[in-house]
Structure 1
Amino acid sequence: MIRIAVVDDEKAMRDMVCKCIKQTMKEDEKESIEILEYTSGESFLEQVKNGELFDILFTDIQMSEMDGMELGKKIREAHSKMYIVFITSYAEYAVESYMIEAYQYILKQDMEYRLPDVARRLIDKISLDSRQYRMIKIGEGQIKLYYKDIIYIYKAKGGKYVTYRTSAGEYRERITLRQVYEELGSKMFVMVERGYIVNMKHIYKVLGDTIYLEDNCQVKISRAKLAEVKKEINLYWGN
């Protein structure tokens, strides 16, 4: 289920945003996409604090109480993976929306032709993420690890097990790192040195030969692969 929140204190604008989203939905997606409307940033934030999970947030910036920028900052602090799309009449908010790492910034006068395209790309992206996973044996059972949740994968020198680092914890599998890399078969991952595979989705900074990832993780890039790895990261970010 893909959950989309629309936050605006004007009903006419909420209706317009919902209409733009719905016109991009395919017939077989209508049961798997839920759109919820909120009249204020406070009411949406309360739901999030109560444990409600959302994939995408479309929010107006100018609202009578909490504005969209403040809402975006609070959401970004608590839920780094939620896609945020700002909607406004004023172009001067573009720089601030970039600082909050908003996915898109849409001017209201462009909404009817831009918002459907943005919504479609996000729905496709989230749908693809939900289909990409790896089954890991845990004792006598198995666990499904979604690619998007893997921060990095490593194998200690001389070790028999590969370890998958995720925000929920670590999982181990007896397999070679090279075999894991080949079986993943995704451009999301890059091998940064013989013992580490990094998920580029979780990189927020590269400084010198060090990759900085979510959950305060740091991984060194080998000198031999430095130029190649930085090129792959730049290509991934560009896409």
Structure 2
Amino acid sequence: MSSSLRRGVLAAAAITFSILPLAACGAGNNAQTLEIKPDNAATTVGDIKVQNAVVITQPDPEAGGPAVVAATLFNTGTSAQTLESVTVDGAGESAELKAAKGKSLSIPAGGSLILGGAENASAVLSVTPEDVKDGNAQEVTFTFSKTGDVSLRAFVVPSESYFTGWGPTEVPAAPEEDTASPTGEATGEPTGEATGEPGGEASGTPTDAASATATESHEASGH
């Protein structure tokens, strides 16, 4: 085996070895996080690694309502850390954090925390389309108890295709149209005006004129 080929094999083995621990951590919590395929934002600050960060909005771009931040957070340190807040530049208030049922927002040493998706922790933003727009890459900041702020730019995408299961669960309903008032106006006053006064005037005046003409003709023939 040539030296260049040997170096290539060793490099590939090193990459595979470095990925395996992270993949095992993700699978230990919820392997579905590995199903997000696009090149989403990732960064490392100290003991914290953020992968697959993305902001997911409503499937209808015209709909108001909440959006969510989805990401996988790894703690490569030797002590636990707690996720304290998640903010998106332009969204105003911080996301509302909620731990998965029976769990907390603490990330154990060597463990991970998944945001988004069924039965995982969640970070929900009460925003409108003006705050967070599809297609943007907006800065997202995760704040941890020991590492502090970890920021990166994440894509904003609608809850469609493979993002459907990770998007917001509250989809605003379209407002109901009030059809009672227009119907009443159309069949009320206009109808009365059309069949009432105009009809009376039209059928009264010509009849009186015809009677007067007949009387005059009778008197003339009598003379």
TM-score for the superposition, normalised by structure 2: 0.24
Q: Which has the larger radius of gyration?
A: 2
TM-score normalised to structure 1 length: 0.23
Work out which structure has the larger RCO, using CA pairs closer than 8 Å and 6 or more positions apart in sequence: 2
Which protein is richer in helix relative to its size? 1
